[in-house]
Structure 1
Amino acid sequence: MADSNQSITLQAPVAGVVVPLTAVPDPVFAGLTLGEGIAIDPLGECLHAPCDGVVVQCARTHHAFTLKTEAGVELLLHLGLDTVELKGEGIEPLVTVGDQVRAGDPMCRFDADALARGASALITPLVITEAAGWQLLPPKHREGERVSLGEPLLVLTRTAVELADTRADGPLAERRVILALASGLHARPAARLRAIAREHSVSLTVQHERSTGNVNSASADSLSALMNLGLTDGAALTLIVQGEAAEAALDAAERLLTTPEVEEHSAPPSSTLTAVTLKKGELAGLVASPGLAIGPLVSYQLPLPTVPLMGEGEAVETARLKEALLRVGEALAQAEAQATRQGQSAEAEIFAAHGAWLEDPDLVAAAGEFIGEGHSAGHAWREALGAEAAQLAVSGNTLLAARVADLRDLQRRVMAELSDDQQAVLPELPEGAIVAAEELTPSELVAVAALHPAGLCLAGGGTTSHVAILARARGIPCLVAMGSALMKAVNDAPDEGVILDAEDGRLVLTPSSTQWAEVTERIDISRRDAETARSAAFETVITRDGRKVGVYANVGSAEEARLAAANGADGVGLLRSEFLFLERDSAPSETTQRDEYQAALEALGGKPVIIRTLDIGADKQLPYLRLPSVPNPALGVRGARLWASHPELLETQLRALLGVTPLEALHIMLPMVSEVGELREVRQRLEALASEMGLDSRPRLGAMIEVPSAALCADSLATEADFLSIGTNDLTQYTLAMDREDPALSARADVLHPAVLRLIQTTVEGAKGHCPVGVCGAAASDDLAAPLLVALGIDELSVEPARVPAVKAALRRLDVTALAAELPVLLALDGAGAVRGRLGEWLAQPTETITTTTTLERC
């Protein structure tokens, strides 16, 4: 209800218990993606209007309603979480689009028992999705308080000035920067720029002066506007920020735009056409994902969902579009959260960028114009995104053109929500087909990958496209930017098949029998090597000279522990317990932790599982545990140092760990140990807790070697520890004084630097006769570093689960004694580059020619 012209009071739509919106167990609501608000865990079975207004949207599954007040404020009332999956069962709508309601009028009835059985939660968010110049005051009700139906719940007040004047509110600051993103200002950094503006509650504008003297500008609110600036590496920009936190926002924006990107799945070096000399019957393409494939060339084209041309009125179609955008946004947020949990950071960033683009006000406004002309919501969205895609395609910027597939993906997703068609059926693909398409959207790529194609050929796209990233992540050979000749060639391709050479960048349409035989043999050798590695993955590694080496797995959850067991890991060398603590509003309970740890132990069936205690600080922070801001967080409170100021976290975690069975399989590892006293204190606390709990056995306790002081004092640590594990990422960082998060230094921060290798050697020598030493850092998976680590005396390597079979196979071919004889030569070299070069030459020799003599001296 409106108390006056200056405030709006929202009433409780149902009796229940107050839940802060940020505590709602759904990333879309908790992250305030849709807007600010509050939630209620209902005690009644009828939702009522929180204020006067017009119903502008009713979900077809009856679980969500949008009201618009006379002042233009829009409110979303969302019954329960994941209730869309119930398809309206147990919910009776009492209003429809266009109805005028008064505060307290019933909007829907629901069967609480039925919803509780089918939904993930009954928690009902009330969200201000469009503030229209009003701002929400902090809620007076605290978490857990009970409210009655109709009780005042939230208050909105009119902002002091209208939107056109908000730029005068708060300091105005600007800064000149030079864009240092090799791929320019594309979707993901644009999405991050918008997030910075929102996080600091500022308006942020990017200006770029062209060589012609024209100045183009774009608000960070619009991803399309930012990308259409066409900014490339080296562009001079002016950032203009308005708000109380203007300087902090400028600092964050400058760091983002001036720090070169590091792509986890970067394009392979051969992504160029210049070296390709084509023969008759061949097409060239850019290598987006390397590999070889043979098979029939099959065209792939999925039609857009059908939608009506004309609509049922502007209010109805606008509401339909908002509901469709909400559903797609929810799906993208869930996909992003799942990818994050699985450690698929590249995919998570793609979903996040799509989610940000979905909220782009320019795209929504463009669709709104078509709706205003009488078109349906589906057709309006199709036209708006079609026009934007066409603009990107002719921009002349290869990176922007690569984003067309992302727009097409969003076009299809939203149209599917607005279509009465059944879900589109994927075209049938013969087994082992090489798929040819004009473009593939990321979601289409995921669907096609499930059909196990031998390879992909795209007429458009680029090596930096999201489809290329996904293809590389899945190991599917892929060529892109092949041009219009590709689709014309599909009809002429022989039934016997074609050769996709995604190493040299060519598609051989009419291969000779000799070419076919050669490529078939190369593929067979690669496949046999992989199958041999997998078949022997469960066997113990014994090197050529009889050395036994353990190959463990690094995991972040019980699910990944099961994957490690399926790949033949000898145990878990590192379970990163911090993943239990991240993306939460409070620390996990003892029960939650114990259940996850127990599941990991059960997955390995009695094999050792090393669980690292909470490792927070530097690049990893918790929202509920804000550590003091310091000039260099990497040298601040992190790892073992955290327990002095937050002993309750360690206490709970140790109790959870001691609650698992069998304790004999559990190994507890303490991170960031710099001296033996830190390890001794934890052992004493562990002993005290075990005695309190009446336990007869004890888990093993070990320390990570991540700082030079720990490596240099390994002999004293080894007398207290049951095992040591070297974290090569941090050890390299601290030894070379090179921030591992700095992309400009990442190539130089190499574990094969002689100084780092000498510290590893010192650690092994110090622990000799006391305890085993493992490596759980990235170096364990490095094809060159892994053999050298074993030659230095490392007993166990811990790698990503999928790498276990290949690492085991490589170590079985190694003569450790012969390589160890080369250590004096390697450790005397000038730097990591020299070590890599010499070591690569030595490992490339046929194994039968390697002897225990110093072969490197003869190179």
Structure 2
Amino acid sequence: MSDSNQSLTLQAPISGVVVPLIAVPDPVFASLTLGEGIALDPLGECLHAPCDGEVVQCARTHHAFTLKTKAGVELLLHLGLDTVELNGKGIEPLVSVGDQVRAGDPLCRFDADALARGASALITPLVITEAAGWQLLPSKHREGERVSLGEPLLVLTRTAVEQSNRRADGPLAERPVTLALASGLHARPAARLRAIAREHSVSLTVQHECSTGNIDSANADSLSALMNLGLVEGATLRLTAQGEAAEAALDAAERLLTTPEVEEHSAPPSATLTAAVLNKGELAGLVASPGLAIGPLVSYQLSLPAVPLVGEGEAVEMARLEEALLRVGEALAQAEVQATRQGQSAEAEIFAAHRAWLEDPDLVAAAGDHIGEGHSAGHAWREALDAEAVRLAASGNMLLAARVADLRDLQRRVMAELSDDQQEALPELPKNAIVVAEELTPSELVAVASQRPAGLCLAGGGTTSHVAILARARGIPCLVAMGASLIDAAHRATGESVILDAENGRLALTPSPTQRAEVAERIDTRLHEAERAKALAHEPAITLDGRKIEVCANIGGAAEARLAADSGADGVGLLRSEFLFLERDSAPSEITQCDEYQAALEALGGKPVIIRTLDIGADKQLPYLRLPSVPNPALGVRGARLWASHPELLETQLRALLGVTPLETLHIMLPMVSEVGELREVRRRLEVLACEMGLDARPRLGAMIEVPSAALCARSLAVEADFLSIGTNDLTQYTLAMDREDPTLTARADVLHPAVLRLIQATVDGAQGHCPVGVCGAAAGDELVALLLVALGVDELSVEPARVPAVKAALRCLNATALADEIPELLALDDAAAVRQHLSAWLAQTNHTDITTTTLERC
């Protein structure tokens, strides 16, 4: 109902309990992608109109209705969450499209019990999907408050400037697609489609030929129009986009509409706790960083910096906030540069991500709203980030929830800049402390890690959080997602000697003296062997039967080259040159590339350095490189195939590579080679450029074996190549037809599958007598796999720098000839699990080595 020409009051469409929209456990509603509004947990079984208007959309499955007021405001009422999957069961619609309704008129009746059994929640959002020049005022209703049907719920006021329809100029592009969404084009994908149009500043239209032969059309700006198309899975659509970024928008829209939806509210299988029988006094958690630790339990908690509640006026406080954000941004930039120089790529990436989040206009705007209400800059920033943290935590998406600690980090940093109080110092930790906390922000983790704790246990967090990444990078055993019981137990056991088993996911709070002695002995043995391996890291890796294996390092650039040299690497088996091309508006110049490549060669002091040419495509894209849209990018233009369409990129990169000295230590590797002709063409071009530059020496040229065709034709490639290097990640993906980016397939996409092993064997056999074969995929860093690769005949392994000492130590315990005799039996097994089991048992029986997930214990 409208109170006047300047305000619009929305009534409660049902009796219920207030839920802020940002707290709704659905990322599309909580992120306000659909629009602003509120939600109610209903206490009735009939949904009513919140105002006068026309029914402009009724969901095919009866779970959603859109009303449009005379002023042009569109309101979406969405009964429950994931109710689209019920296909209308338990819901009786009482209106149709085109009906005029008055405030309080019934829209639908529903069976609350039936919906509760089939939907993820009954929470019913009321969302302003089209504001049409109106602004929603802050709700006076608090979370958990009960409201009655017809009670005033929200108020909108007319803004000074009316919104106008988006009109985009520029190129026009069209694309046919087939809808693959099982639940059709409902509210969630419709909202994402609108977001794509706005993100790319295009006018995006969806057209569909209905059964009568008529063409129905809807612009992505209107959610109701999109949903009114009534599109179901299998519908044939035509997308039209107009604007400078029309093709990019169509790419994103096509991916959205042709990718089957997954359950967004469940945790990925790899992140769930396995059912384990816990002994008395034990707590379970997810393994974020593996390892063993024993030591006194210490609780960690720092209070937020003190800031004033009331501000000194909007102008003063906004200026303070902007200045604080600037200082924190500069500090993060300096930290990123420092981490990069020290080869700490994980930390550098996290600092960069924090800088990007710090510049998020929505966070700044939310803080500005609180400043406008009279709060100080510090308190406004706290409130804004509290709300965002609640939204992420309630999203049900583990990847989003894992970012809460990052938000808390930014919250603390900015509040510290706005606080007059001296910052609370980190308490001094006892030796070998097991630190317990509800959460740790990345900067807190760095501070805690400086005191060298033995382990970490967090009540919250996730295995994909930045804290988990940092813990793994520093080798600190860490369990996360242990629950509130961890904090309660920590208060009772503070100072007690506990055992952290971050291999089996448990914390023993009351271990017996015998248990502590056993674990202490295991830790001492592992430390001794790790130190021994590190001391011998610069020595060659020679197997028991006399084979010398090169153990090189995989690096991301020159900053990590020194780390590789210090780790004892025999060279660089893979320098990923694409890092130079990412995060840029244009391709790097020849001089920029040459300087970077030269720095890497100098860091290795004459040892061989293999630099992979630009490997872009599939999961890695460049903003300035326009690649054609294909249904399966992993099978499209990438790696060596890129040069046919973008020869200028290869030309510049080859010139930069030929500019380094000495060329004798440079090895150039071509990715995604599927046939020998691709390698010959690059060699021909390399020769032409070298002659033009007046060079006498030539670098070695090799090919990556990443696709089955290359492995099966390894002999012809080996005749042309100076070396071959197997990329196990992609070779496994293409052999097993399992997307390496799909988390649900990660456990099954195992390089030890007999089919993959047969292709590796075919590669080695084909190259015999012609050129050496290396492995630069992630599998080379797994000691168990590394031993089998060497037994198969591989000459060189390339691993992460930190893994070099352990892999060398494992190889020194290996009788490769004896293991090679087992290969026929291994290749005859059914699957990767069987191969792992058989291989582990053979190694144990022959006393070669005892491989664990974290370390190597010498034979």
Is the TM value for this pair above 0.5?
yes
- The 1:803–1:331 alpha-carbon spacing in structure 2 relative to 1, beyond 3 Å, is same
- The 1:661–1:179 alpha-carbon spacing in structure 2 relative to 1, beyond 3 Å, is farther
- The 1:601–1:198 alpha-carbon spacing in structure 2 relative to 1, beyond 3 Å, is farther
Q: Is the 8 A contact 1:366 1:384 kept in 2?
A: yes
How do 1:594-609 and structure 2 match up within 5 A? 594-609=594-609
Task: Give, in whole Å, the separation in 1 of the partners of 2:270 and 2:781.
Answer: 19
Q: Is the 8 A contact 1:499 1:507 kept in 2?
A: yes
For residue 415 of structure 1, report the CA deviation from its aligned partner: 1.0
Residue of structure 2 equivalent to 1:827: 827
Task: Give, in whole Å, the separation in 2 of the partners of 1:163 and 1:339.
Answer: 48
TM-score normalized with structure 1 length: 0.65
Q: Is the 8 A contact 1:290 1:477 kept in 2?
A: yes
Task: Give, in whole Å, the separation in 1 of the partners of 2:405 and 2:301.
Answer: 13
Q: What is the one-letter code of the residue matched to 1:359?
A: D
How do 1:242-261 and structure 2 match up within 5 A? 250-253=253-256, 258=261
Q: Is the 8 A contact 2:354 2:406 kept in 1?
A: no
Residue of structure 2 equivalent to 1:837: 837
Q: Residues 732-769 of structure 1: CA distance to partner in whole angstroms, max 9, x if unpaired? A: 33334444334444444333333332222222222211
Find the residue that maps to 1:298 and give its secondary structure.
strand
- The 1:168–1:459 alpha-carbon spacing in structure 2 relative to 1, beyond 3 Å, is same
Task: Give, in whole Å, the separation in 2 of the partners of 1:531 and 1:261.
Answer: 45
Q: Number of matched residues?
A: 646
Q: Is the 8 A contact 1:167 1:242 kept in 2?
A: no
**Is residue 409 of structure 2 the alignment partner of residue 409 of structure 1?**
yes
Task: Give, in whole Å, the separation in 2 of the partners of 1:669 and 1:397.
Answer: 39
- The 1:343–1:756 alpha-carbon spacing in structure 2 relative to 1, beyond 3 Å, is farther
For residue 487 of structure 1, report the CA deviation from its aligned partner: 5.3
Find the residue that maps to 1:694 and give its secondary structure.
coil
- The 1:370–1:770 alpha-carbon spacing in structure 2 relative to 1, beyond 3 Å, is closer
Q: Residues 75-107 of structure 1: CA distance to partner in whole angstroms, max 9, x if unpaired? A: xxxxxxxxxxxxxxxxxxxxxxxxxxxxxxxxx
Task: Give, in whole Å, the separation in 1 of the partners of 2:822 and 2:527.
Answer: 32
Task: Give, in whole Å, the separation in 1 of the partners of 2:194 and 2:844.
Answer: 49
How do 1:218-237 and structure 2 match up within 5 A? none
**Is residue 450 of structure 2 the alignment partner of residue 447 of structure 1?**
no
Residue of structure 2 equivalent to 1:644: 644
How do 1:567-582 and structure 2 match up within 5 A? 567-582=567-582
Find the residue that maps to 2:842 and give its secondary structure.
helix
Unaligned runs of 5+ in 1: 1-131, 134-159, 205-219, 222-240, 851-859
How do 1:70-81 and structure 2 match up within 5 A? none
Task: Give, in whole Å, the separation in 1 of the partners of 2:631 and 2:283.
Answer: 54
Q: What is the one-letter code of the residue matched to 1:581?
A: F
Residue of structure 1 equivalent to 2:200: 200
Q: Is the 8 A contact 1:270 1:504 kept in 2?
A: no
Q: What is the one-letter code of the residue matched to 2:516?
A: W
Task: Give, in whole Å, the separation in 2 of the partners of 1:395 and 1:771.
Answer: 53
Task: Give, in whole Å, the separation in 2 of the partners of 1:194 and 1:432.
Answer: 53
- The 1:355–1:393 alpha-carbon spacing in structure 2 relative to 1, beyond 3 Å, is same
Find the residue that maps to 1:522 and give its secondary structure.
helix
Q: Residues 503-538 of structure 1: CA distance to partner in whole angstroms, max 9, x if unpaired? A: 455544454432321121111122222222212211
For residue 835 of structure 1, report the CA deviation from its aligned partner: 2.7
- The 1:605–1:399 alpha-carbon spacing in structure 2 relative to 1, beyond 3 Å, is closer
Task: Give, in whole Å, the separation in 2 of the partners of 1:382 and 1:303.
Answer: 13
Task: Compute the RMSD of aligned alpha carbons.
Answer: 4.5
Residue of structure 2 equivalent to 1:427: 427
Find the residue that maps to 1:847 and give its secondary structure.
coil
Task: Give, in whole Å, the separation in 2 of the partners of 1:498 and 1:747.
Answer: 31
**Is residue 450 of structure 2 the alignment partner of residue 456 of structure 1?**
no
For residue 552 of structure 1, report the CA deviation from its aligned partner: 1.1
For residue 572 of structure 1, report the CA deviation from its aligned partner: 0.8
For residue 404 of structure 1, report the CA deviation from its aligned partner: 5.3
Q: What is the one-letter code of the residue matched to 1:644?
A: A
For residue 297 of structure 1, report the CA deviation from its aligned partner: 2.5
- The 1:273–1:701 alpha-carbon spacing in structure 2 relative to 1, beyond 3 Å, is closer
Find the residue that maps to 1:617 and give its secondary structure.
coil
For residue 482 of structure 1, report the CA deviation from its aligned partner: 5.3
Q: What is the one-letter code of the residue matched to 2:261?
A: T
Of residues 770-779 and 467-476 in structure 1, the stretch that sits farther from structure 2 once superposed is 467-476
Percent identity (aligned):
75
Q: Is the 8 A contact 2:298 2:495 kept in 1?
A: no
Of residues 820-829 and 485-494 in structure 1, the stretch that sits farther from structure 2 once superposed is 485-494
Residue of structure 1 equivalent to 2:766: 766
Residue of structure 2 equivalent to 1:749: 749
- The 1:710–1:608 alpha-carbon spacing in structure 2 relative to 1, beyond 3 Å, is same
Residue of structure 2 equivalent to 1:359: 360
Task: Give, in whole Å, the separation in 2 of the partners of 1:671 and 1:811.
Answer: 27
For residue 553 of structure 1, report the CA deviation from its aligned partner: 1.2
Find the residue that maps to 2:523 and give its secondary structure.
helix
Task: Give, in whole Å, the separation in 2 of the partners of 1:673 and 1:464.
Answer: 32
Q: What is the one-letter code of the residue matched to 2:803?
A: R
Find the residue that maps to 2:435 and give its secondary structure.
strand
Residue of structure 2 equivalent to 1:381: 381
For residue 197 of structure 1, report the CA deviation from its aligned partner: 6.2
For residue 680 of structure 1, report the CA deviation from its aligned partner: 2.7
For residue 731 of structure 1, report the CA deviation from its aligned partner: 2.6
Residue of structure 2 equivalent to 1:296: 296
Q: Residues 35-59 of structure 1: CA distance to partner in whole angstroms, max 9, x if unpaired? A: xxxxxxxxxxxxxxxxxxxxxxxxx
**Is residue 525 of structure 2 the alignment partner of residue 533 of structure 1?**
no
Task: Give, in whole Å, the separation in 1 of the partners of 2:430 and 2:193.
Answer: 43
Which of 276, 279, 289 is the matching residue for 1:277? 279
Find the residue that maps to 1:258 and give its secondary structure.
coil
Find the residue that maps to 1:785 and give its secondary structure.
helix
- The 1:849–1:268 alpha-carbon spacing in structure 2 relative to 1, beyond 3 Å, is closer
Find the residue that maps to 2:298 and give its secondary structure.
strand
Find the residue that maps to 2:783 and give its secondary structure.
coil
- The 1:590–1:448 alpha-carbon spacing in structure 2 relative to 1, beyond 3 Å, is same
For residue 606 of structure 1, report the CA deviation from its aligned partner: 0.8
Q: Residues 260-298 of structure 1: CA distance to partner in whole angstroms, max 9, x if unpaired? A: 8999x989778457521214xx66655544432222333
- The 1:619–1:479 alpha-carbon spacing in structure 2 relative to 1, beyond 3 Å, is closer
Q: What is the one-letter code of the residue matched to 2:426?
A: L
Q: What is the one-letter code of the residue matched to 1:451?
A: Q
How do 1:304-315 and structure 2 match up within 5 A? 304-315=304-315
For residue 367 of structure 1, report the CA deviation from its aligned partner: 4.1
Task: Give, in whole Å, the separation in 2 of the partners of 1:727 and 1:520.
Answer: 39
Q: Is the 8 A contact 2:168 2:201 kept in 1?
A: no
Task: Give, in whole Å, the separation in 2 of the partners of 1:300 and 1:272.
Answer: 27
Q: Is the 8 A contact 1:460 1:481 kept in 2?
A: yes
Find the residue that maps to 2:606 and give its secondary structure.
coil
How do 1:624-663 and structure 2 match up within 5 A? 624-663=624-663
How do 1:496-515 and structure 2 match up within 5 A? 497-515=497-515
Q: Is the 8 A contact 2:727 2:775 kept in 1?
A: yes
- The 1:275–1:254 alpha-carbon spacing in structure 2 relative to 1, beyond 3 Å, is farther
Q: What is the one-letter code of the residue matched to 2:477?
A: P
Q: What is the one-letter code of the residue matched to 1:651?
A: E
Residue of structure 1 equivalent to 2:227: none
Residue of structure 1 equivalent to 2:520: 520
For residue 607 of structure 1, report the CA deviation from its aligned partner: 0.9
Q: What is the one-letter code of the residue matched to 2:514?
A: T
Q: Is the 8 A contact 1:261 1:743 kept in 2?
A: no
Q: What is the one-letter code of the residue matched to 1:705?
A: I
- The 1:630–1:175 alpha-carbon spacing in structure 2 relative to 1, beyond 3 Å, is closer
Unaligned runs of 5+ in 2: 1-131, 134-158, 205-219, 222-238, 851-859
Task: Give, in whole Å, the separation in 1 of the partners of 2:546 and 2:605.
Answer: 27
Residue of structure 1 equivalent to 2:476: 476
For residue 405 of structure 1, report the CA deviation from its aligned partner: 3.9
Find the residue that maps to 1:293 and give its secondary structure.
strand
Q: Is the 8 A contact 1:324 1:417 kept in 2?
A: yes
Find the residue that maps to 1:637 and give its secondary structure.
coil
